């Protein structure tokens, strides 16, 4: 039989290898930024176009390359960072596999401009699909600029596999954050389609975090610091009340390299035990420094997973350190509406799907009755922890002593917080509210009174409802008698297309679509026909604007935007039933006390505060 084994040509081998290293534009961003860091740059600029699909360009002021190195850098296994296998165990650089540039050059049009300090004239080199098409001398600044154009131009299947621009942009920003956080001493900027997305001056870690995630982050940070023989930890965790439902700011760095580690994540989570609600995620920016010899980074091609020699000790130490920091900064639970356990509304109830827009108020409703009156509204009478919002009101009741007996069975986490809310002056039936300046709903509670911001409260209600509809896919739609034909720009239509599935879950029905218009046949029940264009336009602009925020998740963003557009406005007058209905809906939410954008939804005024004012 004839011999049939052949060596693959280089460009094919490179294309195959590229599959491992380059999954999407963000992978290119990561590799280029890391190369710039390894080159000792102090200023790095990232420019992208069309979510990196058309262009990813990184410019640095690092050491640059000689003409020969410039050419060699695109060879597979060409690296200046290790010389022998032993070096693998003493790594101080991000890269070491010598694969990134070769892989990228196999699947894109790449242009390199570079110059070292010692040369007056630099090099320009162009490569397409692993083939050098040009290498010339050119006057360029010290440092390196690599432009990667038309990623996957020669692998259409991979190109088609890329996600929508917002999603790919999100991935790029994630990579950018990871590198920028690990290197606060380096200044970074990022531009997307010609506009500034980030401008991060040289700074310390705290400033870097604040520059990336916004000025409000500053007061949320709790420093963490500890040093033992095997590991040094420093960085910050976010105060427990800023924990979120989705994974937001969770960053581990080991020797300044971002890593993913479910094991260490668990350690941090367990340090927050008892301080945050189940299902909530703490935020953290933690930097571990270990002897490079004690880790193996080589177990994943994109190097985001590493193996520690002494994992158990690191776990224990991390958990203890975070716990200690939380304790030291007296983050112990206090009465605070952001995390008051009394608001831990039972999930059963929050799952109930409020029917908009009709108003239903069960005036007979008495949560202390043994049998719940309505099948789908259930307040558990016994809980492991905490009371519930209704305890703010119903404890005010006096004459129903036989039902109040049940109270003794309620176990409160803190008597101070919930127990004292019960008194005997007013009744649930008399629970009343009034509206102040068509803006606030005022409601008496045992300890004083509660002021609820109607617009923010409704935002919270709609947000949770929409988010639920998107995830469980049960949004209700109202069919339009005459379909609407809406005009948008080409790129906006593209953006909406990327969100079609989610929008349909909220109740939208789309039919035809062309380059610059789309037809809507159905809309969510909470919306009126006249507002569709406005609401979608707002959604588009929110998505475009939101990009720099780390909390970005398309569903979340969509829910926030729609909730904001559709919530009853300040200035709308509400009758008593509507007010009470809104209050009920609000406290059926999982997180009634803050708006989707983290603004307080309600404020309480204690009688004791009032008393002080009369002294
Ligand atoms: P690795 O980073 O694993 O060594 P790469 O393919 O990413 O492999 O890069 C190959 C080599 O090209 C590097 O080892 C480095 O010598 C050189 N190089 C890449 N990017 C830069 C840059 N921005 N500045 C200077 N040298 C660079
Ligand atoms: Mg590299």
Q: Which pair of tokens denotes residue 203?
A: 């700074």
Question: Does the structure show a pLDDT above 60 at 399?
Answer: no
Does any ligand 1 atom lie closer than 6 A to the CB of residue 14? no
Give the chain's mean pLDDT.
80
Measured from the Cα of 146, ligand 1's closest atom is 23
CA 265 / ligand 2 centre spacing (Å): 27
User: For a substitution probing ligand 1, which of 29, 95, 97, 116 has the most ligand atoms within 8 Å of its CB?
Assistant: 95
Query: Which range (10-19, 304-313, 598-607) has the least confidence?
Result: 10-19
Identify the top-confidence range among 96-105, 186-195, 337-346, 505-514: 186-195
User: For a substitution probing ligand 1, which of 27, 38, 92 has the most ligand atoms within 8 Å of its CB?
Assistant: 38
CA 17 / ligand 2 centre spacing (Å): 14
CATH number for the domain whose boundaries are 205-328: 3.30.230.10
Does any ligand 1 atom lie closer than 6 A to the CB of residue 441? no
For the stretch 198-239, pLDDT in tens is 999 999 999 999 999 888 889 899 999 999 888 999 999 999
User: According to the CATH classification, is domain 10-200 in 3.30.565.10?
Assistant: yes
* Residue 343 confidence (pLDDT): 35
Q: pLDDT band at 543, cuts 50/70/90?
A: confident
Angle value at C-alpha 221, between 588 and 302, nearest 5 degrees: 95
Query: Which one is predicted more confidently, 195 or 89?
Result: 195
101-123: average pLDDT:
95
Contact 173, 547 (CB under 8 A): yes
Q: Do domains 10-200 and 449-586 have the same CATH topology?
A: no
* Residue 529 confidence (pLDDT): 84
For the stretch 306-338, pLDDT in tens is 888 888 889 999 999 999 898 877 543 333 333
* Residue 488 confidence (pLDDT): 85
Q: What is the 3-state secondary structure (H, E, C) of 110-148?
A: EEEEEECCCCCCEEEEEEECCEEEEEEEECCCCEEEEEE
Counting ligands in written order, the one closest to the CA of 44 is 1
Does any ligand 1 atom lie closer than 6 A to the CB of residue 79? yes
For the stretch 460-470, pLDDT in tens is 999 988 888 88
C-alpha–C-alpha distance, residues 569 and 355, integer Å: 19
User: For a substitution probing ligand 1, which of 42, 79, 140, 297 has the most ligand atoms within 8 Å of its CB?
Assistant: 79
Does any ligand 1 atom lie closer than 6 A to the CB of residue 417? no
Query: Which range (137-151, 385-399, 497-511, 547-561) has the least confidence?
Result: 385-399
Question: Does the structure show a pLDDT above 70 at 197?
Answer: yes
Contact 452, 602 (CB under 8 A): yes
* Residue 254 confidence (pLDDT): 93
User: For a substitution probing ligand 1, which of 101, 104, 186 has the most ligand atoms within 8 Å of its CB?
Assistant: 101
Question: Does the structure show a pLDDT above 60 at 428?
Answer: no
Query: Which range (5-14, 147-156, 449-458) has the least confidence?
Result: 5-14
CA 76 / ligand 1 centre spacing (Å): 11
Ranges of each domain in the chain:
10-200, 205-328, 449-586
Q: Which pair of tokens denotes residue 288?
A: 């571990």
341-355: average pLDDT:
38
User: According to the CATH classification, is domain 449-586 in 3.30.1370.100?
Assistant: yes
* Residue 615 confidence (pLDDT): 81
Coil, helix or strand at residue 394: helix
Does any ligand 1 atom lie closer than 6 A to the CB of residue 33? no
According to DSSP, residue 379 is labeled: -
Distances (CA, A) of 507 to 298, 470, 493: 47, 9, 18
CA 188 / ligand 2 centre spacing (Å): 18
Q: pLDDT band at 546, cuts 50/70/90?
A: low
Share of the chain above pLDDT 90, in %: 37
For the stretch 42-51, pLDDT in tens is 999 999 999 9
Question: Does the structure show a pLDDT above 90 at 378?
Answer: no
CA 264 / ligand 2 centre spacing (Å): 26
Give the residue among 332, 179, 178 at the shortest CA–CA distance from 249. Answer: 178
Counting ligands in written order, the one closest to the CA of 74 is 1
């Amino acid at each position: 039989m004839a011999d049939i084994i052949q060596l693959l040509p280089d460009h094919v081998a490179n294309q195959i290898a590229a599959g491992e290293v380059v999954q999407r534009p963000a992978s290119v961003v990561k590799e280029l930024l890391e190369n710039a860091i390894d080159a000792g740059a102090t200023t790095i600029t990232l420019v992208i176009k069309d979510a990196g699909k058309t262009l990813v360009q990184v410019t640095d002021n690092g050491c640059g390359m000689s003409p020969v190195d410039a050419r060699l850098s695109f060879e597979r296994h060409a690296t200046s960072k290790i010389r022998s296998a032993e070096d693998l165990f003493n790594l101080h650089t991000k890269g070491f596999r010598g694969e990134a540039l070769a892989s990228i050059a196999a699947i894109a049009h790449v242009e390199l401009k570079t110059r070292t300090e010692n040369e007056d004239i630099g090099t320009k080199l162009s490569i397409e699909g692993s083939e050098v098409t040009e290498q010339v001398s050119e006057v360029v600044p010290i440092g390196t600029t690599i432009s990667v154009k038309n990623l996957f131009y020669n692998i259409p299947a991979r190109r088609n596999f890329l996600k929508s621009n917002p999603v790919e942009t999100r991935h790029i920003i994630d990579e950018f954050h990871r590198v920028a956080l690990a290197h606060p001493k380096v200044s970074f900027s990022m531009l997307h389609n010609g506009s500034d997305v980030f401008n991060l001056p040289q700074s310390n870690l705290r400033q870097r975090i604040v520059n990336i995630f916004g000025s409000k982050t500053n007061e949320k940070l709790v420093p963490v610091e500890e040093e033992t023989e095997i590991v040094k930890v420093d960085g910050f965790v976010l105060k427990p009340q800023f924990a979120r439902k989705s994974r937001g700011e969770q960053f581990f760095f080991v020797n300044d390299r971002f890593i993913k580690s479910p094991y260490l994540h668990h350690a941090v989570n367990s340090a927050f035990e008892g301080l945050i609600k189940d299902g909530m995620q703490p935020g953290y920016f933690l930097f571990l420094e270990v002897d490079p010899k004690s880790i193996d980074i080589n177990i994943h091609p994109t190097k985001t997973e590493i193996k520690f020699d002494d994992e158990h000790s690191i776990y224990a130490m991390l958990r203890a350190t975070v716990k200690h920091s939380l304790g030291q900064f007296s983050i112990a639970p206090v009465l605070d509406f952001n995390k008051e356990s009394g608001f831990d509304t039972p999930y059963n109830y929050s799952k109930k799907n409020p029917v908009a827009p009709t108003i239903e108020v069960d005036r007979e409703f008495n949560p202390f009755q043994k049998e719940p009156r309505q099948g789908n509204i259930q307040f558990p009478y016994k809980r492991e922890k905490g009371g519930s919002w209704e305890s703010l009101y119903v404890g005010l009741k006096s004459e129903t002593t036989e039902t109040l007996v049940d109270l003794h069975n309620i176990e409160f986490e803190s008597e101070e917080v919930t127990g004292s809310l019960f008194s005997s002056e007013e009744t649930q039936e008399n629970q009343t509210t009034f509206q102040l300046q068509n803006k606030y709903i005022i409601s008496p509670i045992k300890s004083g009174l509660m002021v609820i911001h109607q617009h923010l409260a409704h935002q919270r209600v709609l947000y949770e409802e929409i988010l639920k509809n998107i995830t469980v896919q049960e949004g209700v739609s109202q069919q339009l008698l005459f379909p609407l034909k809406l005009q948008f720009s080409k790129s906006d239509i593209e953006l909406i297309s990327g969100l079609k599935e989610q929008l349909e879950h909220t109740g939208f029905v789309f039919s035809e679509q062309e380059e610059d218009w789309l037809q809507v046949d159905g809309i969510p029940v909470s919306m009126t026909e006249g507002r569709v264009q406005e609401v979608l336009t707002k959604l588009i602009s929110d998505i475009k604007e939101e990009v720099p925020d780390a909390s970005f998740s398309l569903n979340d963003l969509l829910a926030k935007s729609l909730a904001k557009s559709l919530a009853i406005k300040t200035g709308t007058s509400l009758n008593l039933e509507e007010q009470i209905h809104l209050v009920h809906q609000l406290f059926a939410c999982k997180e009634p006390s803050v708006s989707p954008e983290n603004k307080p939804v309600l404020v309480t005024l204690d009688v004791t505060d009032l008393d002080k004012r009369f002294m």
